[in-house]
Chains A and B, each alone.
Chain A
Amino acid sequence: GAVVSQHPSWVICKSGTSVKIECRSLDFQATTMFWYRQFPKQSLMLMATSNEGSKATYEQGVEKDKFLINHASLTLSTLTVTSAHPEDSSFYICSARTIGSQYFGPGTRLTVL
């Protein structure tokens, strides 16, 4: 299957700082990538759809000014959590869409102290 990488795999930051997470499709071009958030023992919740060269589409209830998404190339999308707070602590997973399906990155565990 297609390979999607994510960096960093985990990050710990202080409250009020910003954190950037990268999602890369390694062996294919992805015009569309998706960002999900997953709390412990819960399902994946779609946060936003990231389209190469255009603005991201955010799901209802997701603050676009807090979760900045940039899809600058066909292989890279970034999610920046701005002014992070403890309640932003979660597992963030991206996925990239191919013709066949979506393939997930390994996830980034964010802990905000």
Chain B
Amino acid sequence: GENVEQHPSTLSVQEGDSAVIKCTYSDSASNYFPWYKQELGKRPQLIIDIRSNVGEKKDQRIAVTLNKTAKHFSLHITETQPEDSAVYFCAASKNNNDMRFGAGTRLTVKP
């Protein structure tokens, strides 16, 4: 089955700096890669996703890149703000089935 690894487990940045979170996956058949943001005690919220036919996708301060050959994808947050502080999870799935999550990255943005 699919195995998703996520790094780093914790990340602390200064407000205004960029943050990068990286994930690798094992199943070459996976074709859908969402990123979720989860605040303490709340549900994961989809923030951006990318499909295997696209190499990069951007939405304002958030961007995701996908390298199918290397089987890794990354989340980039620019101009970070304190409200970006949360746990971020990457995930991989085939056709939105059997979604497997990374271990999560706790991002802290210091004002």
Q: How many residues of A contact B (CB 8 A)?
A: 19
Choose one: A49, A101, A103, A104; the contact of B98 (CB below 8 Å).
Answer: A49
User: What size tier do the contact residues of chain B reach?
Assistant: 20 to 34
Describe A's contact surface by its main secondary structure: strand
- Complex contact A93–B43 (CB within 8 A): yes
Q: Please, how many angstroms separate the alpha-carbon atoms of A93 and B32 in the complex?
A: 21
Is B42 positioned at the interface, with any CB of A under 8 Å from its CB? yes
Q: Please, how many angstroms separate the alpha-carbon atoms of A106 and B34 in the complex?
A: 18
Name A's B-contacting residues (CB within 8 A). Answer: 1, 32, 34, 42-46, 49, 93, 97, 101-107, 109
Q: Which 5 A-B pairs have the closest CB atoms?
A: A104-B43, A106-B43, A43-B101, A44-B101, A43-B103
A-B contact pairs, 11 of them (CB 8 A): A1-B46, A43-B102, A45-B101, A46-B101, A93-B44, A97-B96, A97-B97, A102-B46, A104-B43, A104-B44, A107-B43
